[in-house]
Chain A
Amino acid sequence: MANTKPESRERVIIKADDLGKILKILKRKSYKTIGPTLQEKAIIYDEIRDVDDLPIGWTDKQEKGSYRLERRTDGAYFGYNVGPHSWKKFLSPPEVRLWSARKSENGFDLHEDDHEIPNYAFIGVRSCDLHAIQTLDNVFLGGNYQDKIYGDRRQENFIVAVNCTEAGGTCFCASLGTGPKSDKGFDLALTEIINDEGHYFVVEIGSEKGSEIMDEVSTRKAGPEMIHMADLRVEKAAKSMGRQLNTDRLRDLLFANYQHPEWEEVANRCLSCANCTMVCPTCFCHTNEEVTDLDGNNAERWRRWDSCFTLDFTYIHGGSVRKSTRSRYRQWMTHKLASWHDQFGTSGCVGCGRCITWCPVGIDITEIADTIRKSGELPDKTVEQPQ
């Protein structure tokens, strides 16, 4: 999807339930529309057919180790933040077959998997998640090799972003510059407004594809007042983040403090349950496994999500390199906030707060970083390698 420059983007207004029209148009164009739904007391991403599938009038209350849903009084379509799912569930699925093989006279014959890969339309993508998708683009497609699993699922994406008008209890996208306003990488970006004049969306058109869709919906041009009102709401969200992360020279700070006693402190609490890696929208580690049938005539190669918190993640020659929980927690956090910069040129964290919410013992990555900053060393020069 071509990105148009922010200044030249068209903004229009649609009535709230015209969103349903957009969904129908997308379905007609053979997209599989995925958006937030309420299931099992959480807001998760699943196929949606109409606006009624959205968690209308619900909000989430998130704190460390706590996620609860509550009712709203205004009937907002997107009046919540992010739940345990992220879009990596569709772009790099938790379980996917790479190929299958059959025993043959040449040893084995390979059979490529012709997955039926839908053209995904992601509805309700928050800015943090949009940045997460962009960093995964870098991970899977930005190097010498391209990951086919991710690339095939990413190619025809249509993205309807939503600018958050309320910040969550564990959100800190503002600290990382990853939100709450989406600036690029979307086809449409919606800001929800509910006031005396009604319930509507200010729609920012971010691409040709987005423009084509909006041509089929009755819209009116958004005047400067409306745009300003929308911007104000998003700015309010930016100022009311539940958490903050001081990112000043964070990479150097963490690299210089590999022996800080805080790692041991966290390790005493951490269960290495891997929840954080599962809910994190940028964690991409996976493993490949061989599966055979009972008579050995068929074998399949499967790819499954993996986590650096597992004991045998670093298994080599009779033992694991990272045996202690301390080393594994340190690996996760320093990868996310420090080494990611060296590898991909950005932070690996997008400030979505999921790891804080879904940690069963309430470990808060912003608190850990803060503790190390208060009592750790920060040398003047760049720290090349961790110490």
Chain B
Amino acid sequence: MENLEKILLGHPFFKNIEGDYLNLIVGCASNVRFEQDEIIFREGQEADQFYIIREGTVALDLQDPGSGKITIDTLTDGEILGWSWLVPPYYWRFDARATKMTRAISLDGKCLRNKCENDHDLGYELLKRFALIIDQRLQATRLQLLDVYGLRS
């Protein structure tokens, strides 16, 4: 547990978070490990966790009937995987697959969700941080959407 606390404290995502809250979060955290090609979660499943990737790469895939599996994003060391646990109806919108052996910290989102309902200050602290991440991903996704390398007609 001490090891986890150190890791979480040092992670930029939890910078400046109050000691009590950090303890609370550590209480919901555990070390996990995924083998190459292991599916971490599937589209449609209940979103109960989120992950902080310590080492490795996770691909986000969508399945298209015609083209098969399409990878739309990859996340690596230090990045946060998943916020569907924060947003109703709390289901994953895509598959997550480890493309190589990956170590991560899993955080119990369902548990944290309940705690946030009771302590709105904790809720605000978490949402503030996730808002930043979601914004970064949105900007990146917009650029991706522009398909700037594609040939214009």
Contact = CB atoms under 8 A, between A and B. Distances in A.
Query: Do any beta carbons of A and B sit within 8 angstroms of each other in the complex?
Result: yes
Q: How large is the interface on B (under 10, 10 to 19, 20 to 34, 35 or more residues)?
A: under 10
B153 interface: yes
Nearest to B153: A318
Interface of A: 317-319
Contacts of A318: 151-153
Nearest to B152: A318
Nearest to A318: B152
Contacts of A319: 152
Interface of B: 151-153
Instruction: Classify the interface of chain B: helix, strand, loop or mixed.
Output: loop
A317 B152 CA distance: 7
Contacts of B151: 318
Nearest to B151: A318
A317 B151 CA distance: 8
A318 B151 CA distance: 9
Contacts of B153: 318
A318 B150 CA distance: 12
5 contacts: A317-B152, A318-B151, A318-B152, A318-B153, A319-B152
Nearest to A317: B152
- What 5 A-B pairs come out closest when comparing CB atoms? A318-B152, A317-B152, A318-B153, A319-B152, A318-B151
A319 B151 CA distance: 12
A319 B153 CA distance: 9
A317 to B, nearest CB: 6
Contacts of B152: 317-319
B150 to A, nearest CB: 11
A319 to B, nearest CB: 7
A318 B148 CA distance: 13
Contacts of A317: 152
A312 to B, nearest CB: 15
A321 to B, nearest CB: 13
B153 to A, nearest CB: 7
A197 to B, nearest CB: 72
Nearest to A319: B152
A318 B153 CA distance: 6
A319 B152 CA distance: 9
A126 B149 CA distance: 53
A257 B13 CA distance: 43
A276 to B, nearest CB: 31
A274 B32 CA distance: 70
B78 to A, nearest CB: 37
B94 to A, nearest CB: 32
A317 B148 CA distance: 12
A334 B151 CA distance: 32
B89 to A, nearest CB: 42
A34 B64 CA distance: 74
A318 B152 CA distance: 6
A138 to B, nearest CB: 37
A320 to B, nearest CB: 12
A286 B141 CA distance: 41
A362 to B, nearest CB: 38
A188 B26 CA distance: 93
B48 to A, nearest CB: 47
A17 B153 CA distance: 65
A210 B112 CA distance: 94
